[in-house]
């Protein structure tokens, strides 16, 4: 894990202030979730207490206001994760079309169980609820990207490509 200082560069900070201006005067707390996404992407894919405190300082709100939000939403990771978090949809439409088999295949291929991270820190497997990709099941999300209609072959290819990219996959596309 990197030990970089928890502070945005000037461009990212300017982006945060631009996002805060989307909301009426005095209502800039609305920007909390968008800024948490930026912070998570910037600082290794998870929100450490230091990161959350830093976000609180930008928005000029109490740290507890950040934590209560960060702990509510499933996309915010409060613990470190692998570079590539494979979020497999497990809800019924995907289950009907092989979600359980996809999870089993990933577990076998990567040698880890759901909720675990590979020793090299590359992959974490997580099961998630409906991602709105029911017509293209089974599927998973990694970073902002959807991998749909997955077969074992397509899964292998995806894993290989993610290994080659070898970078933190994040949701943020700002």
Mark the segment that binds another protein (CB under 8 A) among 4-12, 72-80, 108-116, 155-163.
72-80
76 is a contact residue toward another protein (CB under 8 A): yes
158 part of the interface to another protein, by CB under 8 A: no
For another protein, give the closer residue by CB, 161 or 172: 172
* Helices first, then strands: H and E counts in the chain: 7, 4
If the CB atoms of residues 27 and 154 are measured against another protein, the closer one turns out to be 27
Beta carbons of 81 and 117 less than 8 angstroms apart: yes
Cα separation, 162 vs 50, whole angstroms: 29
Nearer residue to another protein within complex by CB, 24 or 115: 24
Reduce the DSSP state of residue 7 to 3 states and report it: coil
- Residue 144, judged by CB atoms within 10 A of its CB (0-12, 13-18, 19+), counts as exposed
Q: Closer CB to another protein, residue 36 or residue 106?
A: 36
Contact predicate 39/54, CB 8 Å: yes
DSSP code at position 98: T
User: Of 116 and 148, which has the nearer Cβ to another protein?
Assistant: 148
- 16-47 in b/e form (b: 16+ CB < 10 A) is beebbeeeeeeebeebbebbbbbbbbbbbbbb
Q: Contacting another protein (CB under 8 A), which of 33, 56, 112, 114?
A: 33
# chain residues binding another protein, by CB under 8 A: 45
Q: Which of 32, 110, 125, 142 binds another protein (CB under 8 A)?
A: 32
**E strand or H helix at 86:** strand 84-89
Stretch that binds another protein, among 1-9, 113-121, 139-147, 150-158 (CB under 8 A): 139-147
What does the binding site for another protein look like in residue numbers (CB under 8 A)? 22, 24, 27, 29-34, 36-37, 59, 65, 68-69, 72-76, 90-93, 95-97, 100, 128-137, 141, 144-146, 171-173
């Amino acid at each position: 894990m990197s030990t970089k200082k928890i502070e945005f560069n000037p461009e990212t900070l300017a982006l945060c202030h631009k996002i805060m201006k989307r909301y009426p005067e005095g209502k800039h707390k609305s920007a909390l979730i968008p800024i948490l996404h930026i912070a998570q992407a910037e600082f290794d894919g998870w929100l450490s207490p230091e990161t959350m405190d830093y976000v609180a300082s930008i928005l000029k709100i109490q740290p507890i206001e950040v934590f209560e939000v960060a702990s509510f939403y499933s996309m915010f990771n409060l613990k470190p994760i692998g570079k590539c978090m494979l979020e497999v949809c497990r809800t019924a439409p995907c289950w009907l079309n092989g979600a359980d088999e996809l999870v089993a295949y990933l577990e076998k291929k990567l040698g880890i169980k759901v909720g675990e991270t590979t020793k090299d820190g590359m992959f974490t497997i997580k099961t998630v609820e409906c991602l709105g990709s029911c017509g293209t099941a089974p599927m998973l999300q990694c970073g902002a990207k959807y991998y749909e209609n997955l077969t074992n072959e397509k899964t292998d290819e995806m894993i290989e490509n993610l290994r080659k990219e070898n970078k933190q996959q994040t949701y943020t596309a700002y």
